[in-house]
Amino acid sequence: MNPLRKRVPRSTFGSWKPPASRRDTLEIIREDEEGRDPQLLIRRRDLMAADPFAFYRGTAAVMASDLAGVPVTRLLAQIGGDAHVVNFGGYATPERRLVFDVNDFDETLHGPWEWDVARLCASLPLLASFRSFRSSIADDAVFKAVGAYRKAMRRYSLCSPLDIWYASVDVHGSLAKELEPPRTAARVHAGANLLQFTRSAFYQYHHSVLPHVRMLLDRYVPVALWEHPVGVGSLGLYAAIVELQTDSADRLYLQIKEARASALERYLGPSPFASHGERVIAGQRAMQAASDLFLGWTSYAGRDFYVRQLRDEKTTLAVERITEKQFINYARRCGSVLARAHARSGSPQQVAAYLGNRDVFDEAMVRFARTYARVVERDYDAFAKQAHR
């Protein structure tokens, strides 16, 4: 028997139940809200109180606390930390190909590959419920997602590190129908103090990018800044759009987002990076098949930030209109892409050997996803009752 399976049976996640000593969910959420903009916190709570799936998107810290008590193989990789189904999507590579990949890294850290798989799986029944899909559809989506992860990891176990690094998934055919441009959040024009912040932060950011990108950036100067609150999990942290122009008025738009300590650090230890902005960018580069040319980081007044190009042909899951068949297909694609992201920095040979050829782990994750979704629904009910007290 594989020694890892003896120490951590593949059915382990399938028997998970919330322990009696489980931390209070509302307390974890309050801790996660510390330091966020009070006005934006009101909007964040409104979004999270809308439905259990929206609530789940804002509670990566809660799930990290729950997963910390689950036995794992101790095979580590760069993980996203918040790999729910909406945090996968399409974007343009520097070569202008549209690819599909993991696309959120605020919580990224070196950690157990199982945590990302669990985060993805638990999101699927919650999204299925939001769309009023049958429970059997949710089960099938989880089963297909984990099966795709397991089979992809086996394929990557036979590849060289270089082949894994070059592997990517282009957006075409049915996948294109499952994606749509993300919604645009309202812009709030920034005042003089924030413009000063931009000039100072941009100077530091300029030195975090590669030399050839620095040459390109030298052709542009910042001319305007808008506050740009986005997302659910990161809402309340500083986010802005910087407009840059050339002498001939050609425009480039960059997004600056605040980066704090990952919610996973409490359980996995601190990041090795001095800046959480650098932590986010390093994790993104490690996990994605191809990354934004303008990725970088900066700091200002004791706060860390990362920078990326704004909406460079980015697409996200068409949550409101996806069909049951598309949902299952999309879940499968997410599982496959997640395996590739983990194989880049982890040990695909050891993970593949642990998972094996049978669907033992797949079935266990179906049971886990069902159980965890019910726990999220109970947590949501408690949160919704006191959201604005």
Q: Band of the pLDDT at 185, cuts 50, 70, 90?
A: very low
Q: Band of the pLDDT at 195, cuts 50, 70, 90?
A: low
d(CA 115, CA 113): 5
For the beta carbon of residue 127, count every other beta carbon within 10 angstroms: 26
Asked which of 15-24, 201-210, 331-340 is least confident by mean pLDDT, the reply is 201-210
Q: Band of the pLDDT at 236, cuts 50, 70, 90?
A: confident
Q: How far is CA 224 from CA 201, 220, 293, 380, in A?
A: 14, 12, 21, 39
Range among 32-46, 171-185, 227-241, 305-319 rated most confident: 32-46
Asked which of 35-49, 220-234, 279-293, 371-385 is least confident by mean pLDDT, the reply is 220-234
Over residues 18-29, mean pLDDT: 95
Within 236-311, where are the H helices? 265-268, 276-287
Asked which of 215-224, 230-239, 307-316, 343-352 is least confident by mean pLDDT, the reply is 307-316
Q: Band of the pLDDT at 337, cuts 50, 70, 90?
A: very high
Please check the confidence at residue 234 and state whether its pLDDT lies above 80.
yes
Q: Band of the pLDDT at 70, cuts 50, 70, 90?
A: very high
d(CA 236, CA 42): 9
Please check the confidence at residue 143 and state whether its pLDDT lies above 60.
yes
Report the share of the chain in percent with pLDDT over 90.
66
Task: Supply the DSSP symbol for 186.
Answer: P
Q: What are phi and psi of 86, to 5 degrees?
A: -80, -10
| Average pLDDT over the chain, rounded to an integer | 89
d(CA 180, CA 246): 30
pTM for the model stands at 0.92
Grouping H, G, I as helix, E, B as strand and the rest as coil, residue 324 is helix
Specify the pLDDT at position 389: 57
Q: Band of the pLDDT at 193, cuts 50, 70, 90?
A: low
Asked which of 17-26, 100-109, 241-250 is least confident by mean pLDDT, the reply is 241-250
